[in-house]
Amino acid sequence: MSSTGLTRATLIKDLRLEWRSKDAINSMLFFALLVVVIFSFAFDPTAEESRQIAGGLVWVAFLFAAVVALNQTWARELRNQVLDAYRVSPAPPNSLFLAKALGNFIFVTVLEALMTPLFIVFYNLRALGPAWQLPIVAVLGTWALVVNGTFFAAMSLRTRSREIMLPLLLFPISIPALLAMVEATTSILTGEYSAKFWIVLLVAYDLLFTMASLLLFGFVLHAE
């Protein structure tokens, strides 16, 4: 099977599993909803204030929720030794990694698409800057989170208490990406300054870590 065929097969398998169980998406949605409600109580912002802080709130909520999905990425493959079977097969590791990263990307994007209207309603948001840049920031930011998240989730498979290990690895490395997402979103919402630098930084982050993950994933998969 070609490597794109393999990626497609794994991706479709994951999507079908998720479609039937809806484990990841349901827990992510409810978790993000809770974060929205709790932040709203904790800060009780006016419309003007919420425009200033919404960028941070949105992305922190998505980051926490994404960890829920990312933690389940590989755990599923441990049952029945699927990952071991994969390891001894001649299949290229990168096609597996890409399938998992794309799967997580789809899950988190669906989450964002469902949660954004709620954020707009609860925080009375209206973008004063160029709103068409928001989807670009969302796509780049989501990929930045899931590409590293998928990689670190595979790394934390080899540790004790792996559910807590993933955020401990992911959050420090993601600081520049998170800063870029939050600042880009805030600048678009307030319209006070341009988001251009942050979008460029996100592109650089995505390219750099996608390449690094593809180069190094083989080592992580075969580390047993």
Partner 1 sequence: MRYAFIIFALLTAALLSYGLYQALVVAPTEQTMGDVQRIFYYHVPSAWAAFCLFFVNLVASIWYMVRRNPKADALALAAAEVGVVFCTIVLVTGPIWARPVWGIWWTWDLRLTLTLVLWLIYVAYLILRKFSTSGQTPVIAAVLAIFGALDVPLVYFSIWFFRTQHPQPVMGGGGSIDPRMLHAFFINLIAFSCFGALVCWSRYRFEIARREVEDRQALQGMMEAGASR
Distance in angstroms (rounded) separating the CA atoms of residues 103 and 93: 16
Tokens 């991706």 identify what position?
11
Closest CA to 219 of 94, 43, 38: 94
Tally of CA atoms within 13 A in the half-sphere of 31 that contains its CB: 19
Listed ranges 63-71, 91-99, 101-109, 206-214: which one lies at the site for partner 1 (CB under 8 A): 206-214
Candidate segments 19-27, 114-122, 135-143, 194-202, binder of partner 1 by CB under 8 A: 194-202
Is 38 one of the binding residues for partner 1 (CB under 8 A)? Answer: no
Would you count residue 112 as binding partner 1 (CB under 8 A)? no
- Return the SS3 of 182: helix
Q: Is 145 in the site for partner 1 (CB under 8 A)?
A: no
224 binds partner 1 per the rule CB under 8 A: yes
Task: Verify binding: residue 180, partner 1, rule CB under 8 A.
Answer: yes
Burial of 224 (0-12, 13-18, 19+ CB in 10 A): exposed
Task: Please pick, from the candidates 72, 104, 148, 185, the single residue that binds partner 1 as defined by CB under 8 A.
Answer: 148
Number of Cβ atoms within 10 Å of the Cβ of 2: 9
Q: Which is nearer to partner 1, 32 or 166 (CB)?
A: 166
Residue 78 makes contact with partner 1 by CB under 8 A:
no
Closer residue to partner 1 in complex, CB, 119/198: 198
> HSE (CB half, 13 Å, CA atoms) of 15?
15
Q: How far apart are the first and last CA of the chain?
A: 25
Tokens of 135: 């989807």
User: According to the binding rule CB under 8 A, does residue 20 interact with partner 1?
Assistant: no
Q: Which of 183, 188, 195, 210 binds partner 1 (CB under 8 A)?
A: 183
158 binds partner 1 (CB under 8 A): yes
3-state secondary structure (DSSP) of residue 131: coil
The site for partner 1 (CB under 8 A) is made up of 148, 151, 155-156, 158-161, 165, 168-169, 171-173, 175-177, 179-180, 183, 193, 197-198, 201, 204-205, 208-209, 212, 216, 219-220, 223-224
